[in-house]
Structure 1
Amino acid sequence: MIVRDVTRVTVLANVVVVVVGLIVLTLLPRWNSGGDGARTAVAARPSEPAPATASAEAPPGDKEPVTATPESAKKVKANEAGLVPVIMYHRLLPKRIASIDRTPGQFRKELERLARKNYVPITAAEFVSGEIDIPAGSHPVVLTFDDGHSSHFALDSDGAPKRDTAVGIIYEVAAKYPEFRPVATFWVNRTPFGLNDRAEQTRAVKWLVERGFEVANHTYDHPDLRSLPTKRVSEQIVRQERLLAKLGTGPSTTLALPYGSRPRKLSVAHDGKWDGTRYDFDGVFLAGAEPAVSPFAKKFERYAIPRIQSNGKHGECSRWCTTYWLDWLDDHPKKRYTSDGDPKSVSIPRKLRDTVASKRAGKIVVY
């Protein structure tokens, strides 16, 4: 088990993110260039990626269903009560400006590490709902991007994701590692992907959603919600929900709190209304600082899900960020969520039986 106090480290890490984020947004202009860098070829990158299927390795009709048994679960050392890295990204810049920025090269390297270690991406919505349909023996990872920056997604003249954008790199890595499912979650504000034209916003959102990506609510203006009265918090959420509806995506099932800052009335972050419009999220995500517990675990807190900032091991990141935590999970494989390959069951070692919430798990396989 993780011996640190989860609440204490999460709160402290969120404070760090709030301070850094406020400074960045105050002092820096929003980077609105295409972010595609040098126009060199990407090996095996499809010119127009097809809409994503439920599995990276085969269309739904061709995938042979897996029925987990104690024997099959033991063989792959399944632990679906284990920890899941939910990784937080912001801008991808050729040269980092803020500490939370990453370069395309750093992002590519991290994804390739995840792919080599048998991680398979799922969306935040899939994680919260427990719809984790990945191959036996693999591990879920949730790739999340805040603010809808132009470096996250843009299309080139051929209608393909631009090189060195987040989506372009995700597809590049998926082409190199076929089981690395090309999906992610983008939590956006009032100008998704740096686009001001409504038709372009709609095209971008439609392109992503049709290919299995999640585009969801990060509030309209990205305020620190703790500084706002309850009514203003609801207004910020509802205005963004209305925008997303106009762009063609359904009601958001997840919300990422700007700066990871929780409103003074905690419940308003996941359930409320403003100007006649209601919202009700299945999951609310913070800004730090540890892997999330399984959605099937009794300790799962759906309205305070921690994320891990993508970064190295320098300074405050020595115990907060992805390099540290991915190393830790490699060194503690029994703590990590490992799939049994059967999305209809939850497989766990016998000693973990009491850690699983039976109502959430459905069919439980114990070995």
Structure 2
Amino acid sequence: MPLLHKIAAAVVVAAVVLGLWLPGEPAETPSTVAARAGGKEPVPAGKVDDVRLGDRAAGPGAAPGPAKAPVHVGPLRPATPAAAAVQANELGQVPVLMYHRIVEKPTLALDRTVKEFREELVRLARGGYVPITAGEFVTGRINVPAGRHPVVLTFDDSTPEQFSLDPQGRPKPGTAVAILQEVARQHPGFRPTATFYLNKELFGLASQEAAGLRWLTQNGFELGNHTLTHRDLSTLSRKEVEKEIGDVEAKIVSLTGAHTATLAYPFGSEPDKRSWAEKKDGSYAFRGIFLAGWKPSESPFDTEFDRLAVARVRSEGKIKENDCTRYCSTAWLEELDRNPATRYTSDGDPNTITFPKSEEDRLVKELRGQGRIY
């Protein structure tokens, strides 16, 4: 090869190498932003079987969990002045509150009165909390105004006190859904949403099951899997675990045309192998699994976050039972108020993750491209 040709070839190679190495990031497309956030592009019309309630994930058989993105190895970008001004910390803790029956006169240990429930919602609204769904939380799709805090409201066992329809097809007064909507009307910005973990008795709706689930999903609520008959999964074989989860999932799909995004263990009890509950090809594949309650959850962007063992907090006052003086909702909300730096505070941009520079090591490496520090 003539000398000039060799020189030209060397220059071309060097240019390609430098182009790949030199600092600077390519322009981001909506697809790459969505992938980093743990989401997906919208599912094409006609693919209803692949749509999951409260998520944009693939249907059963697809690998659950956030999409992988190239690791950003350069320095983190600075936060916006607005994000720094509200002391955004999107690596902070998020309360995932666990409710059961909402009744006028409690008869069971996990019951909360209508008055207690309403007061707790008002406290959350006044404290700057904004409800998001369990599916949004585990996939990192947290869209909350700057300076506000996400909270996940979860309801186990699908009881009539949580949701029921009146003769006009609206939520019955006094149910959890009606109260949540009422508080949201009184406190603009407090989003009326929650995740309901379903057993086979779907709110006692009987012939109205399809209509009831349709009303919930059309009005911004999310459905989750809580097994068919609420058995303790730690005592069951793999076949029994898969039947408990798969049978109620099949019922939900038959009524709604969509799969659930998350599972909540009955009694918070894990099966012998997590994989039995996480996924069964052709039947279910969860983006997240929730335990029973004792502490707020880590941020989904934190290296310590485990999407297959998400902690929840039991809704209860500071009573002695079950150490609620320290570990139930009233105590934890007070603790977060006293220590606001430990709480998730939004930067207002769902495509970035802002936090104090001192917390940098806690950010999941695959998400460094979204990281912003101050």
Task: State the TM-score, normalizing by the size of structure 2.
Answer: 0.77
Report the equivalent of 1:298: 303
Distance 2:152 2:256 in 1: 23
Q: State the 1:249 CA deviation.
A: 4.7
**1:278 maps to 2:283:** yes
Report the equivalent of 1:205: 213
Report the equivalent of 2:363: 356
Distance 1:351 1:292 in 2: 20
1:347 maps to a residue whose letter is T
**1:95 maps to 2:96:** no
Q: State the 1:69 CA deviation.
A: 3.8
SS in 2 for 1:216: strand
Report the equivalent of 2:275: 267
Contact 2:156 2:198 in 1 (8 A): yes
Q: State the 1:158 CA deviation.
A: 3.1
1:333 maps to a residue whose letter is P
State which structure, 1 or 2, has the greater radius of gyration over its C-alpha atoms.
2
Distance 1:220 1:160 in 2: 26
Q: State the 1:268 CA deviation.
A: 1.1
Contact 2:249 2:259 in 1 (8 A): yes
Q: State the 1:194 CA deviation.
A: 1.5
Distance 1:242 1:278 in 2: 7
Report the equivalent of 2:161: 151
Contact 2:193 2:220 in 1 (8 A): yes
Equivalent runs, 1:113-132 vs 2, <5 Å: 113-132=123-142
Distance 2:238 2:170 in 1: 42
Report the equivalent of 1:245: 253
**1:216 maps to 2:224:** yes
1:155 maps to a residue whose letter is L
SS in 2 for 1:307: strand
Report the equivalent of 2:325: 318
2:285 maps to a residue whose letter is D
Give the fraction of aligned pairs with identical amino acids, expressed as a percent.
47
Q: State the 1:362 CA deviation.
A: 4.3
Q: State the 1:308 CA deviation.
A: 0.3
**1:112 maps to 2:122:** yes
Contact 2:249 2:283 in 1 (8 A): no
SS in 2 for 1:306: strand
SS in 2 for 1:287: strand
Q: State the 1:282 CA deviation.
A: 0.8
* CA RMSD of superposed structures (Å): 1.4
Q: State the 1:319 CA deviation.
A: 1.4
Contact 1:241 1:252 in 2 (8 A): yes
1:352 maps to a residue whose letter is E
Unaligned runs of 5+ in 2: 1-53, 55-77
Unaligned runs of 5+ in 1: 1-51, 53-67
1:366 maps to a residue whose letter is I
**Off by >4 Å, runs of 4+ in structure 1:** none
Q: Which of 235, 238, 244 is matched with 2:243 structurally?
A: 235
SS in 1 for 2:203: helix
Q: State the 1:361 CA deviation.
A: 5.9
Report the equivalent of 2:203: 193
